[in-house]
Structure 1
Amino acid sequence: MAFFFKPPRGNIALHTIKTCVHQRLKYLMSVMNNDTSYEPEKMEYLITGSSMDRAGHYMLRLLAISSVRIREFFVKAETILFSARFKLLSSKEILTNMRISLRHISESVIGSGEPEEFLVNVKHIFEELSIRKIIDHIFSEDHSTECEQYTLKAPFTLCLSLVKQRKVSLKDGVADIPCGVFKIFLLELFEKHIVFGMEQLVNTGCFKEASQDPRIRELRKELEKLVLSSPAHITPVVLKACDVDTESVFFPLCMTHLHRTLRTRHRLSHEWRRQYTLFLKDIGMPVEEAIEFWSSEYSLPKSNDCDGCCHSWQKDAKRFHYSIRHMYGLEGGRYHYMVASCRALQMANLQPSAEGGCPFKHFDEEKLTSYFPSHLMEDDSVLNYILQLKKNSPKKACQAHMFAISRSEPLKYSSRTDEGKSSLIYYSPAHYYLSLKNT
């Protein structure tokens, strides 16, 4: 039951890590395809909890961040693999792995922030569960999914699928989880841990350098081809220029704001035009559609209240073509650019007239709530909760807003219950969009 809280140490030869990653990806594809006949060529790279098992997982995690195709496949496949491994363990082995995970968590919690807070919560949960009689009870063969002999308290954001299915009771944002659904809860924790791990990588100073390493870029392209060749891969959505207005209902407020500003003024300043272009690229807009999208806006005259950008498509078409293709990695150094992470947007030092940033960090309450849907404005308890979170934690306020708008009706949780879908956890505007679309 490897939770992957601790990356491997030491040096690994390039050919070894490439073989390890290829073996792991092929094995994940067989798991997704339910292909029981597949036999890995090098099984030593897939021994649960081994250094090579961790090396393959962490390298795939790094590659998945910068590729939408790999990311969606990776999160789903690793969760299925975790579930399959989990079922093969005895209660004694589960207890041993849980205690090892506790030690690794203690070594991983460095600094502060949402990923670290998540690890602290997981540590508390594992401490509560790491009791022999509880583990023996939960993982006994005749244990019922309706059993409530033991309960566990945890933030409701850690068990959203159970909240949607009404499997837990809620009070003041805390879920009371009965032992009958602990196994489902652990799967959801694992999936969230992968996503938070990606967020931690995005926010580290070495991520950009690592993702632009030519060896990493070459490996990413190889793996994308493998994922696309698999019948189990998740087909990426192609976003067309004519569909942006319709799809904007799924945008995070930071990108909704840029979209509305563009549609009103027909211009954006350089940096926020760049961020919006990268966002559209990351959620599935091909380069040809991006050129069409921006040409349609910049061919229009700018509004009277637009002071920043003085470019037009008629005058600067060649410059725009090159700029867009450069952001797609097709010109210049051919780097793989991505939209800024949530953390980067929140930490941005903005001028008063700036167009972008994080609405939950940089907008006042009046401007922020002007972007809220009507049903949310009518729900005083949820509205006040979001505005209270905004004061100290913009990311939590954004997550609470996302959860509120994903519900089918005000004050009622959605009745949709697909455990395989995202748990509303994200680390960038693009991931927000993909998570909300899959809910």
Structure 2
Amino acid sequence: MEIVGSRRKSSKSSAGDTVSTVRLYRSAPELEVRLEDFELYAVHRLRVLKGISDGLSRGKKPNEMVDLVDKLWKVNMMHSEAHEVTNKDIISHFVLRLVYCREEELRRWFLSMETTLFRYRFQLEGSEAQRALLAEFDLPYKAVSNAEYESVKDKLNQVKSSTGQSGSSADTVYYKVPFEQVPDLVASRRVFILKGYAYVAMNQVVSLLMTQYRSHLSKALVLTNRKWTSMIREQEKDRLTPIVEALSTSYLGPDYSQPKEHAEISLKDIDQVAKNSFPLCMRHLFEKLREDHHLKHGGRMQLGLFLKGVGLNLDDALAFWKAEFSRKAGAERFDKEYAYSIRHNYGKEGKRTDYTPYSCQKIISTTPGVGDHHGCPYRHFSEENLRAALSKMGVGNRAVEDVMDKVRNRHYQLACTLTFEAVHGVSCDEGINHPNQYYSDSKKVLESRKNTCLKNDLKLCFCVMCFSFLPSQVSH
């Protein structure tokens, strides 16, 4: 596509052989992929997309998002072998297409995150690489002519000035496109519109490309879903299907299957620890257990594995659950019907598997039934019940409104993060992704405060002691 200056001489793209590292993923590659790389590459890209989601949910500014995407990509998508960087990019994209094509909600999330990733990766490219990528789209739009530019240049300069951009638009290339092709620019009033056409500056052209990219990817996801349901899922039921179906709810953070070294909670402290350091989902289960002396299977699994992860040993776990269940079911029935599953969670029965505490993603994705108390309160509580629970935790009115705003937008993990920040009075930049992470971070904050108070007390004690040794009178 020829790129023409607005009122000056014509110039062709000087991209030459410059190639952009941003891919359009128009067709699946014919590559042999090891099964471990199939999953590993997808997990690495998923970390990037979830990092973008967290950044957007926290309201990061565009320049902050550029830096975030650059960091996420470098940390997760690089490879020790240079030629594998491109393969990793392409393979991971197409694997996640399989993962996220299967449901409408999954498709929406993937489409939004991949389009955002495309935007900021494009902005990180040099100008020549951007033009090379622009040419790949082969868009049917041409730059405005010199004569047309002269007729609207005052309006273009006004728009440029109102959006905080310095300088005149005289040296900027503009494209004239139907306004519906750049909805984000129209919504934010960053583009001049005349007779149904938007005048898009060269530095805004990424918005135009995003629309095209999003449209292509949206159609591709629908086609992928058809292939998945009609053929791939059944053909790969013993190999790829379990991996694909697990990835959308997989937890990507630290392993909490075992408590950290020396981490342990005792039965005599458990009520106070629950009040101070349990996330809302576990605090609610704990309180219901104390109140009803019983939890259904889903609740027992969610709370039991969490307690295992925070350091409740097997003997104490058996004593804890028996003390509660025996009050309603009796000790004999507990030993017959419930003790086995507790020992099983600790790897002492059955296959002796070391079961992992549930992540936020897994808890959010569950659907509690009537009489169940497990699941994510931010997703499953009514607004009235959630407000009451937050108030009970000591969350102030203003913070409650911020949490409710995130809940309405279905940012449940961010709602939990805001709760943590309100309760503990500290910032949690990484966000809450696991109930055991909430507990661990809470204990760190409380321990830090305890140590600070202790140091201050020692300083005060030292000062008092020094003062007591001073003579009552000083003679000259």
Tell me the TM-score normalised to structure 1 length. 0.46
TM-score by length of 2: 0.43
